[in-house]
Structure 1
Amino acid sequence: MNRRALLLSACAAALAVAGCATPGTSKQAGPGEIEAWSGRLSLRIDSQPAQTFSALFELRGAPQAGELTLTSPIGNTLAQLHWAPGEALLRNGTETRRYDSVDALIEAATGAAIPVAALFGWLAGREDRVPGWRPDLSQIGAGKLQATRESPGPRADLRIVFEPA
Protein backbone atom coordinates (compact mmCIF):
# COMPACT_ATOMS: atom_id res chain seq x y z
CA MET A 1 0.00 0.00 0.00
CA ASN A 2 1.52 3.38 -0.93
CA ARG A 3 2.02 6.14 1.63
CA ARG A 4 -0.88 8.31 0.40
CA ALA A 5 -3.29 5.36 0.51
CA LEU A 6 -2.10 4.52 4.03
CA LEU A 7 -2.56 8.13 5.15
CA LEU A 8 -5.99 8.32 3.50
CA SER A 9 -7.01 5.04 5.17
CA ALA A 10 -5.93 6.33 8.57
CA CYS A 11 -7.90 9.52 8.01
CA ALA A 12 -10.98 7.61 6.87
CA ALA A 13 -10.88 5.64 10.12
CA ALA A 14 -10.50 8.87 12.06
CA LEU A 15 -13.51 10.32 10.24
CA ALA A 16 -15.78 8.04 12.25
CA VAL A 17 -15.04 10.05 15.39
CA ALA A 18 -14.49 13.42 13.73
CA GLY A 19 -17.73 14.77 15.18
CA CYS A 20 -15.98 14.93 18.56
CA ALA A 21 -13.44 17.47 17.35
CA THR A 22 -13.74 21.12 18.23
CA PRO A 23 -12.41 23.96 16.12
CA GLY A 24 -9.11 25.53 17.05
CA THR A 25 -7.88 29.05 16.67
CA SER A 26 -6.51 31.41 14.10
CA LYS A 27 -3.96 34.14 14.61
CA GLN A 28 -3.49 36.90 12.08
CA ALA A 29 0.13 37.90 11.90
CA GLY A 30 1.29 41.31 12.94
CA PRO A 31 4.71 42.70 12.05
CA GLY A 32 7.34 40.02 12.65
CA GLU A 33 4.77 37.41 13.75
CA ILE A 34 3.97 34.04 12.22
CA GLU A 35 0.47 33.29 10.96
CA ALA A 36 -1.09 30.23 12.60
CA TRP A 37 -4.39 28.39 12.29
CA SER A 38 -5.78 25.21 13.78
CA GLY A 39 -9.04 23.34 13.44
CA ARG A 40 -10.49 20.64 11.21
CA LEU A 41 -10.11 20.07 7.51
CA SER A 42 -11.68 17.67 5.07
CA LEU A 43 -10.91 17.00 1.45
CA ARG A 44 -13.00 15.01 -1.00
CA ILE A 45 -11.58 14.05 -4.38
CA ASP A 46 -14.15 12.84 -6.90
CA SER A 47 -11.86 10.21 -8.41
CA GLN A 48 -12.79 6.59 -9.10
CA PRO A 49 -13.13 5.49 -6.37
CA ALA A 50 -13.75 8.74 -4.51
CA GLN A 51 -11.10 9.63 -1.92
CA THR A 52 -11.85 11.39 1.34
CA PHE A 53 -9.41 12.83 3.83
CA SER A 54 -10.25 14.35 7.21
CA ALA A 55 -7.97 15.48 10.02
CA LEU A 56 -7.33 18.03 12.70
CA PHE A 57 -4.67 20.47 11.59
CA GLU A 58 -2.20 23.06 12.82
CA LEU A 59 -0.82 25.36 10.14
CA ARG A 60 1.99 27.82 10.90
CA GLY A 61 4.16 30.03 8.77
CA ALA A 62 3.75 31.37 5.27
CA PRO A 63 3.72 30.07 1.70
CA GLN A 64 7.53 30.35 1.57
CA ALA A 65 8.26 28.54 4.85
CA GLY A 66 5.89 26.77 7.18
CA GLU A 67 4.65 23.66 8.85
CA LEU A 68 1.40 21.69 8.72
CA THR A 69 0.66 18.99 11.29
CA LEU A 70 -2.23 16.60 10.64
CA THR A 71 -3.63 14.61 13.55
CA SER A 72 -6.49 12.21 14.09
CA PRO A 73 -9.37 13.32 16.33
CA ILE A 74 -7.92 11.16 19.12
CA GLY A 75 -4.56 12.94 18.90
CA ASN A 76 -2.39 10.59 16.84
CA THR A 77 -0.05 12.43 14.49
CA LEU A 78 -0.84 11.35 10.92
CA ALA A 79 1.80 13.48 9.20
CA GLN A 80 4.02 16.52 9.64
CA LEU A 81 4.77 18.64 6.59
CA HIS A 82 7.60 21.16 6.67
CA TRP A 83 8.74 23.49 3.91
CA ALA A 84 11.34 26.21 3.51
CA PRO A 85 13.32 27.53 0.56
CA GLY A 86 15.05 24.53 -1.00
CA GLU A 87 13.30 21.86 1.09
CA ALA A 88 9.91 20.20 1.42
CA LEU A 89 9.62 17.30 3.89
CA LEU A 90 6.87 14.85 4.80
CA ARG A 91 7.34 13.09 8.13
CA ASN A 92 5.07 10.10 8.54
CA GLY A 93 5.92 8.08 11.64
CA THR A 94 9.62 7.27 11.47
CA GLU A 95 9.92 7.93 7.73
CA THR A 96 10.87 11.27 6.16
CA ARG A 97 10.36 11.90 2.45
CA ARG A 98 11.70 14.86 0.46
CA TYR A 99 9.84 16.64 -2.35
CA ASP A 100 10.81 19.23 -4.95
CA SER A 101 8.28 21.84 -3.79
CA VAL A 102 5.66 22.58 -1.17
CA ASP A 103 2.95 21.97 -3.79
CA ALA A 104 4.32 18.47 -4.55
CA LEU A 105 4.54 17.85 -0.80
CA ILE A 106 0.89 18.83 -0.20
CA GLU A 107 -0.27 16.70 -3.13
CA ALA A 108 1.65 13.68 -1.80
CA ALA A 109 0.13 14.11 1.67
CA THR A 110 -3.48 14.79 0.68
CA GLY A 111 -3.92 13.41 -2.84
CA ALA A 112 -4.81 16.79 -4.35
CA ALA A 113 -2.82 19.74 -5.60
CA ILE A 114 -3.90 22.41 -3.10
CA PRO A 115 -2.48 25.88 -3.84
CA VAL A 116 -0.59 26.62 -0.62
CA ALA A 117 0.04 30.32 -1.29
CA ALA A 118 -3.66 30.88 -2.00
CA LEU A 119 -4.66 28.80 1.04
CA PHE A 120 -2.83 31.22 3.34
CA GLY A 121 -4.61 34.11 1.60
CA TRP A 122 -8.02 32.44 1.82
CA LEU A 123 -7.58 31.74 5.54
CA ALA A 124 -6.70 35.41 6.00
CA GLY A 125 -9.91 36.37 4.17
CA ARG A 126 -8.34 37.34 0.82
CA GLU A 127 -9.91 35.96 -2.32
CA ASP A 128 -6.63 35.05 -4.00
CA ARG A 129 -7.33 33.71 -7.50
CA VAL A 130 -5.98 30.36 -8.68
CA PRO A 131 -6.91 28.90 -12.07
CA GLY A 132 -9.37 26.03 -11.63
CA TRP A 133 -10.14 26.83 -7.97
CA ARG A 134 -13.23 28.62 -6.64
CA PRO A 135 -12.95 29.71 -2.98
CA ASP A 136 -16.07 30.50 -0.96
CA LEU A 137 -15.11 33.02 1.72
CA SER A 138 -18.70 33.99 2.60
CA GLN A 139 -18.39 32.34 6.05
CA ILE A 140 -14.75 33.13 6.80
CA GLY A 141 -15.82 35.42 9.66
CA ALA A 142 -17.54 32.41 11.24
CA GLY A 143 -14.39 30.32 10.83
CA LYS A 144 -15.43 28.32 7.76
CA LEU A 145 -13.71 28.10 4.41
CA GLN A 146 -14.69 26.05 1.39
CA ALA A 147 -12.73 25.87 -1.86
CA THR A 148 -13.56 23.76 -4.88
CA ARG A 149 -11.18 22.70 -7.64
CA GLU A 150 -13.13 22.22 -10.83
CA SER A 151 -10.23 21.84 -13.22
CA PRO A 152 -8.11 19.99 -13.87
CA GLY A 153 -10.16 16.98 -12.85
CA PRO A 154 -10.96 15.16 -10.80
CA ARG A 155 -13.05 17.68 -8.88
CA ALA A 156 -11.85 18.34 -5.31
CA ASP A 157 -13.71 19.93 -2.40
CA LEU A 158 -11.72 21.38 0.51
CA ARG A 159 -13.51 22.38 3.71
CA ILE A 160 -11.82 23.97 6.71
CA VAL A 161 -13.31 24.92 10.09
CA PHE A 162 -11.26 27.10 12.45
CA GLU A 163 -11.95 29.59 15.20
CA PRO A 164 -11.87 33.12 13.78
CA ALA A 165 -9.53 35.67 15.35
Structure 2
Amino acid sequence: MSVRVQADPNQPQAQDQSFSAAFELQGNPDQGELRLYTPLGSTAAGIQWTPINAVLQAHGETRQFRDLAQLITLVLGTDVPVTALFAWLAGQNQEVDGWQVDLSARNQGKIAARRMAPALPAELQVVLDN
Protein backbone atom coordinates (compact mmCIF):
# COMPACT_ATOMS: atom_id res chain seq x y z
CA MET A 1 0.00 0.00 0.00
CA SER A 2 1.26 3.45 -0.80
CA VAL A 3 -0.21 6.89 -0.24
CA ARG A 4 1.08 10.19 -1.60
CA VAL A 5 -0.38 13.57 -0.70
CA GLN A 6 0.68 16.64 -2.64
CA ALA A 7 1.95 19.62 -0.67
CA ASP A 8 -0.24 22.66 -0.14
CA PRO A 9 0.87 25.20 -2.79
CA ASN A 10 -0.10 28.00 -0.37
CA GLN A 11 2.61 26.89 2.05
CA PRO A 12 6.04 27.46 0.44
CA GLN A 13 7.91 25.22 2.93
CA ALA A 14 5.48 22.30 2.60
CA GLN A 15 6.58 19.11 0.86
CA ASP A 16 4.69 16.18 -0.63
CA GLN A 17 4.09 13.43 1.91
CA SER A 18 4.34 9.77 1.06
CA PHE A 19 3.91 6.51 2.91
CA SER A 20 4.45 2.94 1.77
CA ALA A 21 4.17 -0.36 3.62
CA ALA A 22 3.24 -3.99 3.26
CA PHE A 23 0.00 -4.72 5.07
CA GLU A 24 -2.48 -7.30 6.33
CA LEU A 25 -6.12 -6.29 6.60
CA GLN A 26 -8.97 -8.14 8.29
CA GLY A 27 -12.53 -7.12 9.00
CA ASN A 28 -14.84 -4.51 7.51
CA PRO A 29 -15.40 -0.75 7.74
CA ASP A 30 -17.06 -1.12 11.16
CA GLN A 31 -14.63 -3.44 12.91
CA GLY A 32 -11.26 -4.84 11.99
CA GLU A 33 -7.51 -4.87 12.18
CA LEU A 34 -4.72 -3.54 9.96
CA ARG A 35 -1.05 -4.39 10.37
CA LEU A 36 1.62 -2.36 8.58
CA TYR A 37 5.07 -3.88 8.03
CA THR A 38 8.55 -2.48 7.48
CA PRO A 39 10.57 -3.51 4.40
CA LEU A 40 12.33 -6.08 6.60
CA GLY A 41 9.01 -7.63 7.68
CA SER A 42 8.72 -6.41 11.24
CA THR A 43 5.51 -4.78 12.43
CA ALA A 44 5.63 -1.00 12.03
CA ALA A 45 2.13 -0.37 13.36
CA GLY A 46 -1.06 -2.12 14.33
CA ILE A 47 -4.50 -0.57 14.03
CA GLN A 48 -7.69 -1.99 15.51
CA TRP A 49 -11.13 -0.41 15.24
CA THR A 50 -14.67 -0.92 16.44
CA PRO A 51 -17.80 1.20 16.06
CA ILE A 52 -16.83 3.15 19.19
CA ASN A 53 -13.08 3.78 18.81
CA ALA A 54 -9.81 3.06 17.05
CA VAL A 55 -6.44 2.14 18.54
CA LEU A 56 -2.98 2.67 17.06
CA GLN A 57 0.00 0.71 18.38
CA ALA A 58 3.33 1.94 17.03
CA HIS A 59 6.81 2.76 18.32
CA GLY A 60 6.01 1.18 21.69
CA GLU A 61 3.04 3.49 22.25
CA THR A 62 -0.72 2.98 22.21
CA ARG A 63 -2.98 5.85 21.17
CA GLN A 64 -6.77 6.00 21.24
CA PHE A 65 -8.90 7.81 18.65
CA ARG A 66 -12.63 8.50 18.44
CA ASP A 67 -12.90 6.66 15.11
CA LEU A 68 -10.94 5.09 12.28
CA ALA A 69 -11.18 8.17 10.04
CA GLN A 70 -9.35 10.32 12.60
CA LEU A 71 -6.65 7.66 13.04
CA ILE A 72 -6.10 7.17 9.30
CA THR A 73 -5.80 10.90 8.75
CA LEU A 74 -3.03 11.01 11.34
CA VAL A 75 -1.18 7.91 10.07
CA LEU A 76 -1.47 8.53 6.31
CA GLY A 77 -1.56 12.31 6.33
CA THR A 78 -4.91 12.42 4.57
CA ASP A 79 -8.47 11.21 4.86
CA VAL A 80 -9.18 7.95 3.02
CA PRO A 81 -12.78 6.82 2.47
CA VAL A 82 -12.63 3.59 4.49
CA THR A 83 -16.02 2.21 3.45
CA ALA A 84 -15.17 2.78 -0.21
CA LEU A 85 -11.71 1.28 0.26
CA PHE A 86 -13.23 -1.99 1.45
CA ALA A 87 -15.59 -1.92 -1.55
CA TRP A 88 -12.67 -1.24 -3.92
CA LEU A 89 -10.70 -4.13 -2.41
CA ALA A 90 -13.71 -6.34 -3.14
CA GLY A 91 -13.74 -5.13 -6.76
CA GLN A 92 -16.80 -2.88 -6.35
CA ASN A 93 -16.66 0.55 -7.97
CA GLN A 94 -18.12 2.58 -5.10
CA GLU A 95 -18.19 6.27 -5.92
CA VAL A 96 -16.90 8.86 -3.46
CA ASP A 97 -17.07 12.62 -4.04
CA GLY A 98 -13.67 13.91 -5.11
CA TRP A 99 -12.16 10.44 -5.62
CA GLN A 100 -11.60 8.49 -8.83
CA VAL A 101 -10.85 4.78 -8.55
CA ASP A 102 -9.26 2.59 -11.21
CA LEU A 103 -10.15 -1.06 -10.81
CA SER A 104 -9.07 -2.08 -14.32
CA ALA A 105 -6.11 -4.07 -12.94
CA ARG A 106 -8.02 -5.50 -9.96
CA ASN A 107 -7.77 -9.05 -11.38
CA GLN A 108 -3.98 -8.60 -11.33
CA GLY A 109 -4.20 -7.44 -7.69
CA LYS A 110 -3.78 -3.70 -8.29
CA ILE A 111 -6.06 -0.87 -7.25
CA ALA A 112 -5.40 2.84 -7.72
CA ALA A 113 -7.43 5.79 -6.47
CA ARG A 114 -6.90 9.54 -6.77
CA ARG A 115 -8.46 12.34 -4.81
CA MET A 116 -8.81 15.49 -6.86
CA ALA A 117 -10.98 17.53 -4.45
CA PRO A 118 -11.94 18.97 -2.01
CA ALA A 119 -8.64 18.57 -0.13
CA LEU A 120 -5.13 18.42 -1.55
CA PRO A 121 -4.60 15.89 -4.35
CA ALA A 122 -3.74 12.41 -3.08
CA GLU A 123 -2.98 9.03 -4.60
CA LEU A 124 -3.62 5.63 -3.05
CA GLN A 125 -2.19 2.48 -4.60
CA VAL A 126 -2.77 -1.02 -3.31
CA VAL A 127 -1.11 -4.20 -4.53
CA LEU A 128 -2.81 -7.35 -3.29
CA ASP A 129 -0.93 -10.56 -2.66
CA ASN A 130 -3.35 -13.45 -2.26
TM-score normalised over the length of structure 2:
0.91
Q: Deviations over 1:31-80 (max 9, x none)?
A: xxxxxxxxxx1111101300110100001000000111111110121111
Return 5+ residue gaps in structure 1 as ranges: 1-40
- Residues in 2 aligned to 1:94 and 1:43: alpha-carbon distance in whole angstroms: 23
Counterpart residue number, 2:3: 43
The aligned runs of 1:42-61 (5 Å cut-off) are 42-47=2-7, 48-61=14-27
1:141 positional shift:
0.6
Q: Is the Cα–Cα contact under 8 Å of residues 148 and 156 in structure 1 kept in the other structure?
A: yes
1:163 positional shift:
2.9
Counterpart residue number, 2:39: 73
Query: Residue 117 of structure 1 is aligned with which of 62, 67, 83?
Result: 83
Percent of pairs identical after alignment?
Answer: 42
Counterpart residue number, 1:89: 55
- Residues in 2 aligned to 1:93 and 1:61: alpha-carbon distance in whole angstroms: 24
Corresponding letter in the other structure for 1:94: G
The aligned runs of 1:83-162 (5 Å cut-off) are 83-162=49-128
Q: Is the Cα–Cα contact under 8 Å of residues 142 and 163 in structure 1 kept in the other structure?
A: no
Higher helix content, 1 or 2:
1
Shift >3 Å, 4+ stretches: none
Corresponding letter in the other structure for 2:114: T
- Structure 1 stretch 141-150 or stretch 67-76: which is displaced more? 67-76
Q: Deviations over 1:109-129 (max 9, x none)?
A: 111101111100000000111
Task: Give the superposed CA RMSD.
Answer: 1.0
- Residues in 1 aligned to 2:5 and 2:63: alpha-carbon distance in whole angstroms: 23
TM-score normalised over the length of structure 1:
0.72
- Residues in 2 aligned to 1:100 and 1:87: alpha-carbon distance in whole angstroms: 5
Q: How many pairs are equivalent? A: 124
- Residues in 2 aligned to 1:79 and 1:150: alpha-carbon distance in whole angstroms: 28
